[in-house]
Structure 1
């Protein structure tokens, strides 16, 4: 199973925002530059995550992004389930499968998906940004300081 680009970038945003020791707010433009991604695509991701209540956003001069809660409150399974909008790996009804009702594959895949998310639910965003990841995030934030006029 491969996560979508949307989920990958959403996780990167959340991880980047775990670093809070800075004087200026984090902006979408900054994150887009650090991760070399489209600002327009990032706007959609940030908007979606703000709608979920995961991010606080402030518009205008001096505005920016922040986590809405401590990193330890973001369960990775919940975040990935929501970003992926996934409830099953295959849909036997669309298009209708001729094996439906006699096939065991769907049950096996459903069990595997539950196991996948059960593991992710054991971890939080705080776990994902433990050392050495936290140090790498600090370096990303410092890159911006060297570019500031």
Structure 2
């Protein structure tokens, strides 16, 4: 069961990594960091970063070249991608709460036939996504964020 708490919105780790990877690549300039470098810069396990990079590549938001001179690069589609659409893709558009298995031993919630909370939470989730829809990756790396991202992972 995945619950989004109204007081403290929590994204899946893969969603967070996807957003941060795209942001990092958006300011990479001419360099093409590898998945390993991006993982190190973000201080996350390589295996997690590799899964996210594979999904972002599959979505057409970045390209990955292997071998000497290879690395990752953000595509034009990646620069203009809606942050809301990206979050939806990684989070899924399922219900905020799992009413079918909410009870003890996985039994359905006894309120499921007349619960108003489920609908209200679904509306809140959609409002969250809708607030992110107009933002693009380019928007979220504008100053002051972009210059800060350039310093991540560099030795002092």
TM over 0.5: yes
Decide which of 140, 147, 156 is 1:128's aligned counterpart. 140
Aligned residue for 2:13? 5
Structure 1 residue 88: deviation in Å? 1.8
Number of aligned residue pairs: 143
SS of equivalent to 2:152:
helix
Q: Superposition RMSD on alpha carbons, in Å?
A: 1.8
Q: How does 1:55-70 map onto structure 2 within 5 Å?
A: 55-69=62-76
Aligned residue for 1:19? 27
* TM-score normalised to structure 1 length: 0.87
Deviates more, 1:115-124 or 1:86-95: 86-95
Which whole-Å CA distance do the structure 2 matches of 1:65 and 1:128 have between them? 19
2:108 paired with 1:101: no
Deviations 1:59-112 (A, max 9, x none): 111111111225541101001111112332023223412111211011101111
SS of equivalent to 1:9:
helix
Aligned residue for 1:138? 150
Structure 1 residue 20: deviation in Å? 4.0
2:83 paired with 1:76: yes
SS of equivalent to 1:140:
coil
* TM-score normalised to structure 2 length: 0.83
Question: For structure 1, which runs of at least 5 residues remain unmatched after alignment?
Answer: none
Question: For structure 2, which runs of at least 5 residues remain unmatched after alignment?
Answer: 1-8, 102-106
Which whole-Å CA distance do the structure 2 matches of 1:121 and 1:30 have between them? 29
Which whole-Å CA distance do the structure 1 matches of 2:108 and 2:38 have between them? 43
SS of equivalent to 2:100:
coil
